[in-house]
């Protein structure tokens, strides 16, 4: 039965989709069958994976899987699959069927990664069904406060890792990193090292590669941090 991993932050632009892809690809490279589903109608993951043309040929996605029990699915890499969202909003009357959809697929995969958008009715259900939660974040006042509130509302059991992403190593960011570190150290949550904003990462993404396909010494530290998260997700 698949382990369901939710990648979530209520703030946009923190890198949920790219980090979902990196985590999923890393798990698939360990001979695990992985599915990514998204509630983000922008569907950036195929572009990040270099599969945008193939994605254009899909006619249905998550909304069809929920409503009809079948829909489009895209192979991103060996052992790595993706279900897009082809509409901007899922009918509230259909949301209750999401659990049935997950039950249908979870015996076919080792991991299901959920790239969550906070604007849809599915958001609360995602949190409910997730076995483990990973939180990408900026290191600023608003986002840090939002994470603290989220941890309090969800509880500590499901929160496995926090990934500070697209940072600039500023004094302010170091302050908020320290604040998060106190929370994570006290509660056995992995706080990765900061993943700094990098033109090199932007170029790799533009080439349709993941960090596991890029051979560059400056990418190695990022790969190491993502691998740390993967190890936590595998064994805890």
What's the pLDDT tens digit per position in 194-210? 999 999 999 999 999 99
Say whether pLDDT at 155 is over 90: no
Mean pLDDT for 150-160 is 91
Q: Is 3 helix (H, G, I), strand (E, B) or coil?
A: strand
Q: How far apart are CA 75 and CA 115, in angstroms?
A: 16
For 216: left if phi > 0, alpha if psi spans -120 to 50, otherwise beta; the answer is beta
How many CB atoms lie under 10 A from the CB of residue 11? 15
> What is the separation of C-alpha 159 from the centre of its chain, rounded to a whole number of angstroms?
13
Burial class of residue 236 (count of CB atoms within 10 Å of its CB; 0-12, 13-18, 19+): exposed
What is the residue extent of each domain of the chain?
Answer: 3-235
pLDDT given for residue 52 in this prediction: 96
Query: Is beta strand 80-83 parallel, antiparallel or unpaired with respect to 74-77?
Result: antiparallel
| 37: phi then psi, degrees, rounded to nearest 5 | -120, 150
Query: pLDDT digit string (tens) for 96-123?
Result: 888 889 998 999 999 999 999 865 567 8
Torsion of CA 58, 78, 37, 73, to 10 degrees: 30
Mean pLDDT for 3-16 is 92
Say whether pLDDT at 92 is over 90: no
- Average pLDDT over all residues of the chain: 93
Question: 3-235: which CATH number, 3.30.420.40, 3.30.70.20, 3.40.605.10, 3.40.50.300?
Answer: 3.40.50.300
pLDDT given for residue 3 in this prediction: 97
pLDDT given for residue 120 in this prediction: 58
């Amino acid at each position: 039965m698949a382990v369901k991993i939710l990648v979530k932050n209520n703030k946009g632009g923190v890198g949920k989709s790219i980090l979902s892809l990196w985590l999923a690809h890393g798990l698939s490279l360990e001979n695990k069958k992985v599915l990514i589903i998204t509630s983000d109608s922008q569907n950036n993951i195929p572009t990040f994976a270099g599969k945008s043309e193939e994605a254009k040929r899909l006619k249905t996605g998550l909304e069809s899987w929920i409503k009809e029990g079948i829909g489009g699915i895209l192979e991103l890499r060996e052992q790595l699959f993706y279900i897009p969202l082809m509409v901007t909003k899922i009918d509230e009357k259909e949301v209750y069927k999401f659990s049935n959809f997950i039950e249908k697929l979870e015996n076919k995969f080792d991991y299901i990664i959920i790239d969550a958008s906070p604007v849809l009715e599915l958001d609360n259900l995602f949190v409910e069904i997730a076995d483990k939660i990973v939180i990408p974040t900026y290191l600023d006042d608003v986002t840090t406060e939002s994470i603290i509130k989220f941890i309090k509302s969800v509880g500590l059991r499901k929160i496995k890792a926090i990934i500070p992403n697209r940072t600039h190593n500023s004094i302010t960011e170091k302050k908020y990193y320290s604040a998060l570190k106190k929370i994570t150290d006290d509660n056995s949550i992995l706080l990765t090292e900061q993943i700094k904003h990098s033109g090199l990462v932007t170029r790799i993404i533009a080439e349709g590669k993941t960090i596991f396909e890029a051979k560059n010494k400056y990418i190695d530290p990022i790969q190491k941090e993502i691998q740390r998260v993967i190890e936590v997700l595998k064994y805890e």
